[in-house]
C-alpha cells in the first residue's frame, strides 16, 4: 500500500491551486462584475451617467416650523431641536417635490437608473442632497463624516442603501475627520480635488487620499474662500478638459493648477445665478442646469460645444442645495 500524502502537503497544494492573485486590482471592472454584479464606481465627473442616487424630500421636511425663527441668521430654525432652514422663505414641500421629481424624470428619460436612499430618519431635512454623505470613486464608495450637526447621522441611511444595492464600501471615514461629498470633485481619471473649509478638514482629506493613492489618483487639497461650504459652488467639470468656475470662490493657485493640467475654464459673472455652477454633467458636454445663466455665459458655453437643458430648481435651492447637490452618480462611463 502506497504511503498517502501528508495532510500538510494536501492542504498547501490545495491552497496553491485555488490561490487568488492580487492582480487585477479590486476596482478592475472584470473583478467587480464577477464578484459584485456590476462595475460600480466613478473616476470622472463628465462620463455618461448610468446609475444615480437621489432622495425625494419627504416627511422629514415636517420638522420645519415657519414660526421658529433665529433672527441672528435671518432664517428659520430651532436650536433645541437642532434644525435650520437657511433661506428666508419656506416653500411648500409639494413645490420642492415637484422640482425634484422633474429632475428624476429627466434623468430617467435619458436611460439613467435612478436609485433612492432608503430609511431616511424623520428629521433629517437635508437628506435630499445625496451628494454629501458619500464620495464615489473607482470600485465603490467612501462614506463621509458630515461636518454639521444637522446632517450627522445621514451616513447610516446611505450605508444601508449602498449595502442593499450591493455597492462596495471602500472606506468609512473615522477619527476626527470631517468630509462632505460636495467638496470633492474629479478633474480627470488621475486627479481629484477637495476643498477644505467649515465642513471639511485636513484629516478628512487625508483619509480620502489614502483610498485614492491605492488607485493611482493624485488628490489636490485647497482651502475654500471665507465661509464657502463646498467646492461644487465654484467648480464643475462640464467636459473632458473644460470646467465652469466662479473665480471668486477659488484660490488663484488652483486656477493656475487647472492651466497646468490643461483644463480650460469658463468663468461665470456676478450677473449669473451662482447656482448654475451647481449643475450636473450627464455626459461629456451635456448639462442639466438651473435657470439664471446670462446670455453671455450661455454664448461662451455654446462656443465650446456645450449643450444644456434648463430645469427650474429654485424651490429646492431654498433648502441649501442645487441640482449637483441632489445627485450622486453611482456609475459613469470612462471619460
Do residues 334 and 44 make contact, with C-beta atoms less than 8 angstroms apart? yes
Mean pLDDT of the chain: 95
**Which pLDDT score is estimated for 2?**
53
Mean pLDDT, to the nearest integer, of 135-161?
A: 97
Instruction: Look up the CATH number of the domain holding residue 120.
Output: 3.75.10.10
Q: Decide if 171 is inside a domain.
A: yes
Cell numbers that stand for 250 in this block: 477659488
Q: What is the pLDDT of residues 207-259, one digit of tens each?
A: 999 999 999 999 999 999 999 999 999 999 999 999 999 999 999 999 999 99
Cell numbers that stand for 151 in this block: 446632517
- What's the pLDDT band for 15 if we cut at 50, 70, 90? low
Q: What is the pLDDT of residues 86-121, one digit of tens each?
A: 898 999 999 999 999 999 999 999 999 999 999 998
Do residues 90 and 66 make contact, with C-beta atoms less than 8 angstroms apart? yes
Q: Decide if 60 is inside a domain.
A: yes
How are beta strands 113-116 and 49-54 bridged, if at all? parallel
**Which pLDDT score is estimated for 197?**
97
Mean pLDDT, to the nearest integer, of 54-73?
A: 93
Structural domain containing residue 193: 39-332
Q: What is the pLDDT of residues 167-215, one digit of tens each?
A: 999 999 999 999 999 999 999 999 999 999 999 999 999 999 999 999 9
Task: Count the domains in the chain.
Answer: 1
Q: Decide if 75 is inside a domain.
A: yes
Cell numbers that stand for 216 in this block: 493611482
**Which pLDDT score is estimated for 213?**
98
**Which pLDDT score is estimated for 74?**
84
Q: Decide if 316 is inside a domain.
A: yes
How far is 276 from 258, CA to CA, in rounded Å?
20
Amino acid at each position: 500500500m502506497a504511503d498517502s500524502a501528508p495532510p500538510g502537503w494536501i492542504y498547501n497544494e490545495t491552497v496553491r491551486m485555488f490561490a487568488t492573485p492580487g492582480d487585477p486590482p479590486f476596482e478592475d471592472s472584470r473583478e467587480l462584475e464577477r464578484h459584485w454584479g456590476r462595475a460600480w464606481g466613478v473616476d470622472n465627473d463628465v462620463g455618461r451617467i448610468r446609475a444615480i442616487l437621489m432622495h425625494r424630500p419627504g416627511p422629514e421636511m415636517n420638522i420645519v416650523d415657519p414660526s421658529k425663527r433665529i433672527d441672528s441668521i435671518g432664517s428659520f430654525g430651532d436650536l433645541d431641536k437642532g434644525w435650520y432652514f437657511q433661506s428666508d422663505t419656506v416653500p411648500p414641500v409639494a413645490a420642492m417635490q415637484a422640482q425634484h421629481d422633474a429632475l428624476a424624470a429627466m434623468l430617467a428619460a435619458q436611460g439613467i437608473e435612478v436609485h433612492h436612499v432608503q430609511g431616511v430618519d424623520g428629521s433629517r431635512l437635508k437628506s435630499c442632497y445625496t451628494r454629501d454623505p458619500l464620495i464615489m470613486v473607482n470600485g465603490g464608495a467612501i462614506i463621509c463624516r458630515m461636518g454639521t450637526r444637522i446632517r450627522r447621522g445621514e451616513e447610516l441611511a446611505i450605508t444601508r442603501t449602498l449595502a442593499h444595492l450591493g455597492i462596495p464600501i471602500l472606506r468609512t471615514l473615522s477619527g476626527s475627520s470631517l468630509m462632505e461629498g460636495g467638496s470633492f470633485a474629479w478633474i480627470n481619471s488621475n486627479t481629484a480635488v477637495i476643498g477644505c473649509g467649515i465642513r471639511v478638514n485636513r484629516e478628512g482629506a487625508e483619509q480620502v487620499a489614502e483610498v485614492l493613492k491605492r488607485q493611482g489618483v493624485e488628490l489636490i487639497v485647497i482651502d475654500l474662500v471665507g465661509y464657502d461650504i463646498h467646492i461644487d459652488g465654484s467648480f464643475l467639470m462640464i467636459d473632458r478638459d473644460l470646467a465652469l468656475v466662479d473665480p471668486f470662490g477659488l484660490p488663484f493657485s488652483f486656477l493656475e493648477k487647472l492651466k497646468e493640467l490643461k483644463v480650460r475654464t469658463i468663468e461665470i459673472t456676478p450677473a449669473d445665478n451662482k447656482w448654475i455652477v451647481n449643475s450636473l454633467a450627464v455626459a461629456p458636454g451635456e448639462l442639466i442646469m438651473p435657470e439664471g445663466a446670462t446670455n453671455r455665459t450661455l454664448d461662451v458655453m455654446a462656443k465650446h460645444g456645450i449643450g444644456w437643458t434648463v430645469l427650474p430648481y429654485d424651490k429646492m435651492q431654498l433648502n441649501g442645495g442645487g441640482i449637483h447637490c441632489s445627485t450622486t452618480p453611482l456609475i459613469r462611463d470612462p471619460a
